[in-house]
Chain A
Amino acid sequence: MINNLYIMFPEIFLSLSIFFTLMVGVFIKKSFNLIFNLTSLIIIVTISIILTNPNNEEKIFLDSFIRDPFSNYFKILILLSTLFVLNSSKNFIIDNKLDKFEYPIIILLSILGMFFMVSSNDLILFYLGLELQSLSLYILASIDRDNLKSTESGVKYFVLSALSSGLLLYGCSLLYGFTGSTNFELIADQLNRENTGAVFAMVFILVGLAFKVSAVPFHMWTPDVYEGAPTSITSYFAVVPKVAGLALLIKFMFVPFSNILLEWQTIIIFISIASMILGAVAAMIQTNFKRLLAYSSIGHIGYALAGVATGAITGYQSTIVYISIYVIMNIGAFSCLYFLKKDGQYKENISDLSGISKKHPLLAISLLIILFSLAGVPPLGGFFAKFYVFVAVLEKEMYALAIIGLITTVMSAFYYLKIIKTIYFDDSIITFEPTKNRTAQFSVIASCTILITFFLYPSILNNLVNTLFVS
């Protein structure tokens, strides 16, 4: 029993620290700074707990909770990206008077939910984790409660997400009904093509998951929430829940649905192509940078799903590499937004970037690197992400998917180029205030450095990811 607790020690530690910080927040007035730093500390300690714990596969609590290299990789990715997202947005939070002590605590709660999601081996645990995460995200989206747009985005997200959760739950109960179990492995044994009811359930679950990762046609909430929510929250939304959602999707495809590959493959291929096309086309006409990043993230999810669509381990691995590089690029892109401060307000229109290459050359060159990387131009990191996905896709001889994917790459290059054009070719209008935001600076520089130097040793992530699927 004690051994079991060791295995889920990161989760236990995280829950206890959430209660503790909550108490600190309640009893100490004006405690945002304290709690914020405490949260960073908690995240770092959790990372070190995960790293020091053994990495072998263990299942506990009637095989409903699993700790394996796969879940550990995603937990660390979630924690690290949260650490960067949270710390680079600190100035923004304070400037926009969002410095309520609940802010970091709710983020920690959502992380806890994601931990259970990626560690779940059972429908019930998975659903509970997902709901914990989603409820936290609803609050986060509307945390700027005096702002009409923020509350609107929160409500919108809540209504649509609740609907998708309902579908997901319906799928889960159908799956339980037709296979007689909630355990992933037992479901996998029971599932086959003849089990029509269960295949039906698979579709419902897929819809729910596609909603969570904002893949077309379940993406409608994304642009509005991205634009409405404060930038600090948007950057969190763009990175961390996507990672958890994709991890879950891969897990579902890899374990319970592994026997009905042909059934779900068509759906994923459709979702993937639709996301790539919509992401490329809709982003072209955007004027708001956050909204553009929303559509770009839809497109990126499309590429990531192309890896899943192969239904092969190499494909899943390429998806994991893709999402890891995506995280690096997005942290960089959003951190750049924290420098666009003028008269106490943060600008978020693309036209505000006009000519910043003259006044803010370093910011401009960082954005240039990140945007070219998002467009997937070699030799930057984003190219390798796409390269691995297409290698996996073409291994399965899915030529149409690869060619559509690459053509949408060119289409999406157009809108990234448009931003670069604004930055470099246009005349400057606004001079932004020099901000002393060391953490955001660090995030931008770290992200750019990784993207530039990635080509020196491009298999670093692959070597890591290769170890995740040994089971």
Chain B
Amino acid sequence: MNFPILSTLIFLPLISSFFILLSKDKTTNISSISISLFSSVATFFLSLFLWYSLDINTSEFQFVEEKSWINNYIKFKLGVDGISILFIVLTTFITPICIISCINSVKIRVKEFLIAILILETFMIGVFCSLDLVIFYLFFEAGLIPMFLIIGVWGGSRRVYSAFKFFLFTLLGSVLMLVAIIVIYWLTGTTDITQIYEIQIPKEYQNILWLAFLSSFAVKMPMWPVHTWLPDAHVEAPTAGSVILAAILLKMAGYGFLRFSIPMFPLASEYFTPLIYTLSIIAIIYTSLVALMQDDMKKLIAYSSVAHMGYVTLGIFTLTKQGIDGSIYQMISHGLISAALFLCVGVVYDRLHSRMISTYGGLVNYVPKYSFLFLIFALAALGLPGTSGFLGEFLVLAGTFQKSFLAAMLATFGVVLGAAYMLWLTKRVIFGVTNNSEIKKINDINKSEVVMLVTLAFFILFFGLYPLPLMETFNVSVNSLINNYEIALNTN
């Protein structure tokens, strides 16, 4: 394969953002929106083509591109396997939806907003494609710049505080990862992860390096107790920002665990399993309880994201086939469900400019189409069988039961709590009594909103009923991940 398909995928949004910069529309922004929509849809189809032509019967990295980059010792190396391709497709799928959503919700500086989204897409695809630690770090951190601006410029009233908190928390977490990356370079003589996989990193270094990576991923994930930036960032970010944040940026950390922490530091991963279990369980139960008490819809969904990410970390570090399968599935489905829920909040926010639960009530009588879709997403979020949310949680719990009965018990309790806050939210927003007279005047969802929400609902139900396409894609890669992990454990 000579054509650099991955580089094209990465830089296509960046190049089109340059065209938007050059486009000259003053009032309507039609050309900016159409350029960005066109390019993001093109990127999506390109990534689908990539998925289609990926050989899923091997765990090798495919479409590998390699170029000498820094002094011939750090290479610009890209490649995908069964795990990363799904995240790439998720990214390219969510981005056009965000662009459609901004037609309704972004009123000022639309052009700049689209540029920021497309640049962010470039960095996000880059994270999932990179096969070199330095490149990974580069893309991982670079995403902070557009996200900082998205929250800060287009955000709500406390946007400055949230943007700063988001930026500084994440940066502080990742500088330690940078130290670890450089230390790995001096230990192994390379930052190419395919080569690092072959080399055993000395036992005495593994724990400390693993912790350095954890500091970055834990903030990004976010895990308890460093999750506090997430509710703030979500609440203040504009709808499209929240969607990207929840659907993709949070997945970078889970992906990082799978791609870096476990294969590079198998011994440390084994050693720290109890720590991760504890943090995950606290995240699941504590943040679910916090979510119960929220009166802001976005904050509630943000806390539920933390809880869902708790399942992901729990599943990954069970280091069983079911657990990891479940985690990946949970990440993909959470990407769809949380995106849909934030879009739903965005829809009513655009109409009444309030995120408070108390503003709403009895929506089902006035906006039936919206209420129906909201109900689907809420049920998917609580993990109703038949939606994609169920499968992820189920597999994670199945994996956890093999390793620790107690952890699985507590996590299952979290499922109940999840159902509680989601159903209560639905009850208060969709059903119940209408106290606010303005609700009677609002319109049901318009065409562009229907397109976004129905697409998401379709895939949530589709992957809930027919998980095979996803499962098949990452099956071999996950198997080899676990095999390598067990080999590494047995040789020591």
Contacts and interface: CB of A to CB of B under 8 A. Distances in A.
Contacts of A455: 138
Interface string A391-404: 10011000100110
Given A394-B186, A406-B179, A379 B172 contact: no
Contact of B138 (A378, A399, A462): A378
B179 A377 contact: no
Nearest to B143: A378
Contacts of A424: 149, 152-153
Nearest to A455: B138
Nearest to A462: B71
A421 B178 contact: no
B-side interface size class: 20 to 34
Contact of B167 (A387, A407, A413, A425): A413
B141 A458 contact: no
Contacts of A413: 167-168, 171
B49 interface: no
B356 interface: no
Interface string B122-161: 0000000000001001110110110011001100000110
Interface string B357-400: 00000000000000000000000000000000000000000000
A458 B144 contact: no
Contacts of A378: 137-139, 141-142
Given A383-B138, A407-B172, A458-B69, A417 B148 contact: yes
B431 interface: no
A410 interface: yes
Contacts of A390: 178-179, 182
A459 B134 CA distance: 14
A298 B43 CA distance: 44
Interface string B473-491: 0000000000000000000
B70 interface: yes
A463 interface: yes
B290 to A, nearest CB: 27
B168 A394 contact: no
Contact of B164 (A395, A403, A407, A421): A421
A410 B171 CA distance: 6
A402 to B, nearest CB: 6
A421 B155 CA distance: 13
B61 interface: no
A425 B145 contact: no
Contact of A417 (B167, B172, B183): B167
A48 B178 CA distance: 40
Contacts of A459: 69-72
A36 interface: no
Interface in A400-430: 402-403, 406-407, 409-410, 413-414, 417, 420-421, 424-425
Contact of A410 (B70, B134, B168): B168
Interface string A431-471: 00000000000000000000000010011001100000000
B461 interface: no
A295 interface: no
A402 B182 CA distance: 10
A413 B153 CA distance: 18
A377 B153 contact: no
A462 B72 CA distance: 11
A406 B178 contact: yes
Interface string A32-58: 000000000000000000000000000
Contact of A372 (B145, B176, B178, B186): B145
A409 B177 CA distance: 14
A459 B69 CA distance: 7
Interface string A355-375: 001000000000000001000
B164 A394 contact: no
B401 interface: no
Nearest to A424: B153
Nearest to B72: A459
B183 A394 contact: yes
Chain B contact surface mostly: helix
A395 B144 contact: no
B185 interface: yes
B15 interface: no
Contacts of B423: none
Given A424-B149, A459-B71, A414 B175 contact: no
Contacts of B134: 387
Given A403-B176, A455-B138, A421 B71 contact: no
Contacts of B153: 357, 424-425
Given A378-B142, A407-B172, A417 B164 contact: yes
B129 to A, nearest CB: 14
B71 A394 contact: no
A466 B485 CA distance: 40
Contacts of B144: 377
A470 to B, nearest CB: 16
Contacts of B171: 377, 409-410, 413
Interface string B47-76: 000000000000000000000011110000
Contact of B175 (A391, A410, A421): A410
B175 A409 contact: yes
B412 to A, nearest CB: 39
A416 to B, nearest CB: 10
A395 B186 contact: yes
Given A378-B138, A383-B138, A413-B167, A406 B152 contact: no
Contacts of A391: 182, 185
Contacts of B145: 372, 377
Of listed A395, A407, A458, residue having the most chain B CB within 10 A: A458
Given A377-B144, A410-B172, A403 B179 contact: yes
B139 to A, nearest CB: 8
Nearest to B151: A425
A410 B145 CA distance: 14
Nearest to A390: B182
B76 to A, nearest CB: 9
A402 B186 CA distance: 14
Contacts of A402: 179, 182
B160 A421 contact: yes
B25 to A, nearest CB: 15
Contacts of A377: 141-142, 144-145, 171
Contact of A458 (B70, B152, B160, B179): B70
B151 to A, nearest CB: 10
A391 B167 CA distance: 24
A378 B122 CA distance: 14
Contacts of A463: 71
B10 to A, nearest CB: 12
A459 B182 CA distance: 17
Contacts of A414: 164, 168
A92 B182 CA distance: 44
A413 B141 CA distance: 13
Of listed A391, A402, A413, A414, residue having the most chain B CB within 10 A: A391
26 contacts: A377-B142, A377-B144, A377-B171, A378-B141, A379-B142, A383-B141, A390-B182, A391-B182, A394-B179, A395-B186, A403-B176, A403-B179, A406-B176, A407-B175, A409-B175, A410-B171, A410-B172, A410-B175, A413-B167, A417-B163, A424-B152, A424-B153, A425-B160, A459-B70, A462-B70, A462-B71
Given A357-B153, A420-B152, A459-B72, 13 more contacts: A377-B141, A378-B138, A378-B139, A378-B141, A390-B182, A391-B182, A402-B182, A406-B175, A406-B176, A417-B167, A425-B163, A458-B70, A463-B71
Interface of B: 69-72, 134, 137-139, 141-142, 144-145, 148-149, 152-153, 159-160, 163-164, 167-168, 171-172, 175-176, 178-179, 182-183, 185-186
Rank and list the top 3 A-B pairs by shortest CB-CB distance, nearest first. A406-B175, A378-B138, A459-B71
